Amino acid sequence: MISLTRLGRIVVLTLLAVPMTAVVATSQAAADTRKRSQAEAGAMARRMLAQLKVSRPLSIRGYSHRRFQPRWAPHKGKCSVREVVLARDGRRVRKNAACHPVEGVWYSPYDGKKLKSERLVDVDHVVPLAYAWRSGASRWSWARRRAFANDLTRPELITVSHSTNIAKGAKGPQSWRPPRRAHWCRYAVSWITVKRHYRLFVTRNEKIALLNMLRKC
């Protein structure tokens, strides 16, 4: 016979095991959902990439950052688009009266760094402005280039570490990829989404590099 004391211990251990099992099952389900979502996003990105025109890059002649963005566009009240992105991507962000973030924590998906100072972060254009210029934006109106540089709807603006933004520069995926490979899928999907929306073409090597990154999806 099992003593009451031993029986009580068994009941307690059983009750403790149930929530743990439920947590594990829930975590696994969430991971499976993320994996399916990523795979679906990758499949859609491949279809979009297949629709993009493949061409040689245009000349950089005539390019200037000011042709896209003399400064960040105002968005709401005193806030610029850059300040909106910093508030969107950060945690516990505190802004001053001019809407500039003076405190917060930011995560850089390019390299996995957690940054606790606004001075260490940049708002990156996923498709760099100079790269967009050579992909067809040189033929756009000034208004369209400005809309591109301040686009809060497409996945074109993202908060990253200053160091990775400097390393990336105006390079495309054939020349630079996020050091953190876990971000390759999302980076490629974002790149393709932006290019498709703005009808920018890709080069042959760029397309190959994007397809390689989409293997991570």
Question: Domain residue spans in the chain?
Answer: 32-214
56: closest CA among 204, 200, 211, 212? Answer: 204
114: closest CA among 181, 57, 54, 159? Answer: 159
**Cα angle: 6, vertex 8, 10; to 5 degrees:** 70
Q: Are 87 and 93 in contact (CB under 8 A)?
A: yes
pLDDT at res. 80: 95
pLDDT at res. 25: 44
Q: Are 158 and 111 in contact (CB under 8 A)?
A: no
Report the C-alpha dihedral over residues 69, 116, 161, 123, rounded to 10 degrees: -20
Structure token pair of residue 153: 């709807």
Answering whether pTM is above 0.75, one says yes
Each residue's pLDDT, cut to its tens digit, for the chain (217 residues) gives 444 334 334 333 232 233 434 333 456 666 667 778 888 999 999 999 999 999 999 999 999 999 999 999 998 788 999 999 999 999 999 999 999 999 999 999 999 999 999 999 999 999 999 999 999 999 999 999 999 999 999 999 999 999 999 999 999 999 999 999 999 999 999 999 999 999 999 999 999 999 999 999 9
pLDDT at res. 216: 94
